[in-house]
Each structure stands twice: as structure tokens, then as C-alpha cells.
């Protein structure tokens, strides 16, 4: 969800106002994906590299996360959304962590759209954590080294049990992966818009989906006649 700070600067506002406005885009995208019957929406909320930002901005992001989990809880339950969180828990403010856990637990049995929030997430860290767990199982004798395959790695990622993304949307004109779901997006289609995240609305979402639907996905093979 790129461009919150840039959007705010373009409007002559503090960067935190861009993050506040970005929450509205989260709400719009989530509700529209749910209405369309999309199985899962994964949002990159806070990367492991974002801790380099000014302390005041990080404090605001933690407050915004806590506030979102409280204020959106009733809507999440009413719309039958299932909330999941991926990333490392260390560093997240305790109050935000508690509210996050409560929302995840309350929505666990919901059967609608899975809203997956990547918080304190990094793709390389995820793979490193998976390798560490697998190495521990080999060391303990529960797994032989020659049994390790792609499925083994899949089962040790944060996203275990979740589908690989079909479409990766990047806002604010960004044309890089930025350490996001490095293993999972191997065959994802990428769509880029110059619009910053606070301006991302239903119209842009539908534009991305129409473009995706028009593509021919071959997964390394040849197109069918």
C-alpha cells in the first residue's frame, strides 16, 4: 500500500494524515473484494524495513493499527471476514498486539474473505524462519534432509494453508517487489498504478482485475489453442 506519505505531502499535510486516509482505502478494497467473492486479500501494512522510520511515525502506525482492530471489529464480524496476520510479532506495541490477537480470534470461524495483514513482515525473514524450523526438525531426527522439497517449505511459511497470490497490485508507481511474499508470488501477475494508496478506490480495483482477466497465464507452459 505505497504512497501514503507522498499523498500527504502532495496535499500539504503531515505524513501521518496519509496513513489515516489510507485506512479508508483499506476499507474500500476489503469491502469490494468481499462483494466480488475474492477468496483472499493480503495487504502489506508494515514491512520489517519500516522500523527505520521516525519514532513519531512508528508510534502513530501502532496507534492506527490498534484503532483499526477495535473500530473495524464489528464490521469484520458482520461481513463474515476472517482476519489473519503474518510477520514477526517482536516490536509490535503490546496494546496493538492484544487487539490484533482479539480480532483474529473473534473472526477465526468466519467463512468469507480472508483478510491477511502483513505486519512487521519481510519475505527474506519469512524464508529464514522457515529454514530455521526445518533445520530444527532435521536436527531432531523428525525429518530427513533428502525429504525436503517445495511442499516442505510451503508448510513452514507464515502463509501455510493460504493460496498463492494471483495478482500483485502496486500503487504509487512502484515497480519492485520490496521483499513481499518472495516465495508465494512466483507466478503472480503484477499490475502497477501511478495513483497513491489513499486514492486507490473501487474503480482502480476493477481496472486491475479486468487487466488481470485479459492476461494468458501459462505457468511456464504453452497457451491452449
Given the residues 50, 129, 154, 166, select the one marked as catalytic: 50
Domain chopping of the chain, boundaries: 4-210
Q: Catalytic site residue 50?
A: yes
Q: Give the contacts of 48 (CB within 8 A, at least 6 positions apart).
A: 87, 88, 120, 121, 122, 125, 179
Q: Catalytic site residue 2?
A: yes
> ∠ at Cα 38 (37, 39), nearest 5°?
110
| Domain spanning 4-210, CATH class | alpha beta
Taking Cα atoms as reference points, which of 72, 74, 84 lies closest to residue 28? 72
Q: Whole-angstrom Cα distance, residue 192 to residue 175?
A: 7
- From first to last of its 225 residues, the chain has per-residue pLDDT tens of 999 999 999 999 999 999 999 999 999 999 999 999 999 999 999 999 888 888 999 999 999 999 999 999 999 999 999 999 999 999 999 999 999 999 999 999 999 999 999 999 999 999 999 999 999 999 999 999 999 999 999 999 999 999 999 999 999 999 999 999 999 999 999 999 999 999 999 999 999 999 999 999 877 766 665
pLDDT at 219: 73
Amino acid at each position: 500500500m505505497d504512497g501514503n506519505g507522498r499523498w500527504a505531502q502532495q496535499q500539504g499535510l503531515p505524513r501521518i494524515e496519509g496513513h489515516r486516509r489510507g485506512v479508508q482505502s483499506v476499507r474500500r478494497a476489503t469491502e469490494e473484494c468481499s462483494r466480488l467473492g475474492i477468496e483472499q486479500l493480503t495487504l502489506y501494512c508494515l514491512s520489517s524495513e519500516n522500523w527505520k522510520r521516525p519514532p513519531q511515525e512508528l508510534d502513530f502506525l501502532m496507534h492506527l493499527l490498534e484503532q483499526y482492530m477495535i473500530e473495524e471489529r464489528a464490521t469484520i464480524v458482520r461481513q463474515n471476514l476472517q482476519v489473519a496476520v503474518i510477520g514477526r510479532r517482536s516490536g509490535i506495541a503490546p496494546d496493538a498486539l492484544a487487539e490484533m490477537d482479539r480480532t483474529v480470534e473473534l473472526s477465526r470461524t468466519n467463512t468469507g474473505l480472508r483478510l491477511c495483514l502483513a505486519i512487521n513482515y519481510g519475505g527474506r525473514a519469512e524464508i529464514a524462519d522457515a529454514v530455521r524450523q526445518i533445520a530444527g526438525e532435521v536436527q531432531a531426527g523428525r525429518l530427513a534432509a533428502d525429504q525436503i522439497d517445495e511442499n516442505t517449505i510451503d508448510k513452514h511459511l507464515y502463509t501455510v494453508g493460504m493460496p498463492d497470490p494471483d495478482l500483485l497490485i502496486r500503487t504509487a508507481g512502484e515497480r519492485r517487489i520490496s521483499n513481499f511474499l518472495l516465495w508465494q508470488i512466483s507466478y503472480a501477475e503484477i499490475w502497477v498504478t501511478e495513483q497513491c494508496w489513499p486514492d486507490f478506490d473501487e474503480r482502480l480495483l476493477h481496472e486491475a482485475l479486468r487487466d488481470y482477466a485479459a492476461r494468458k497465464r501459462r505457468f511456464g507452459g504453452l497457451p491452449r489453442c
